[in-house]
Amino acid sequence: MPTSDERDELTCQQAPQIHEMMQAQLDGKLAASDATRLQAHLRDCPLCRAEWERMQALDDLLRAAPMVQPPVRLRVMVMARLERREQARQAVFGWIGLSLATVALTMLALAPFLLDWFYQSGIAPAVIAGGPTTILQVLVCVRSIGQAFLVVAVQFLVPAALLGGGCLALACSWGQFLFRQIAVTQKQTEN
């Protein structure tokens, strides 16, 4: 039966763990108990000790190397590119926000007329009379039409936000109208 000391000993079969412990030790982030285990293993294992010495030499070399400042021209070019990227990002998000707001306002303005037309033409009462299954089928159809519009938008490079927002607003308005009509129909049947 191994003792607790034997279980805590590191072996070369644990090479990835030993390597990670060596890196942590170089960074000053290894716990004291693990540092003791590592030092005991390095004392007994010439292969790992040689690797440790190579890692220490490389670490010393890198710490001793002077920090080199990039040329001013490079810094200016990088900062200019970052500024252009940020401006482009802001322009795109601004345009998308404006487009969505325009579509939403248009749909809000047209929704009462479209919903009234659906009701007057008999589409809405027929859907409501069909019950929940018919309403679900209509909502699935509206979703499919919205997805088709998105595919067309991508294919013809029309901004997807414009069509997607319009379809979403239309689907929301249509769904709200249908649910309102269901409530009215249920109240009428109860009376």
Q: What per-residue confidence (pLDDT) applies to 13?
A: 66
Look at residue 1 in the predicted model and tell me its pLDDT: 33
**Predicted confidence (pLDDT) per residue in 106-121, tens digit:** 877 877 787 777 778 7
Predicted pLDDT at 145: 77
Return d(Cα 145, Cα 168) in angstroms, integer.
10
Q: Say what the pLDDT of residue 161 is.
A: 56
The pLDDT score that the predictor gives to residue 25 is 93
Name the one residue in this structure whose structure tokens are 């970052």. Answer: 82
**77, 78, 81, 87 from 73: Cα distances, Å:** 6, 9, 12, 21
Are 166 and 107 in contact by the 8 Å Cβ rule? The answer is: yes
Is residue 26 within 8 Å of 52, Cβ to Cβ?
no
- The continuous run of DSSP H or E covering 31 comes out as none
Structure tokens at 24: 């942590």
3: left (phi over 0), alpha (psi -120 to 50) or beta: beta
48-85: pLDDT as tens digits: 889 899 999 999 998 888 888 888 898 899 999 999 88
Q: Which residues of the chain are under the pLDDT cut of 50? A: 1-7
- What was the pLDDT predicted at 166? 63
pTM value is 0.35
Structure tokens at 63: 């710490």
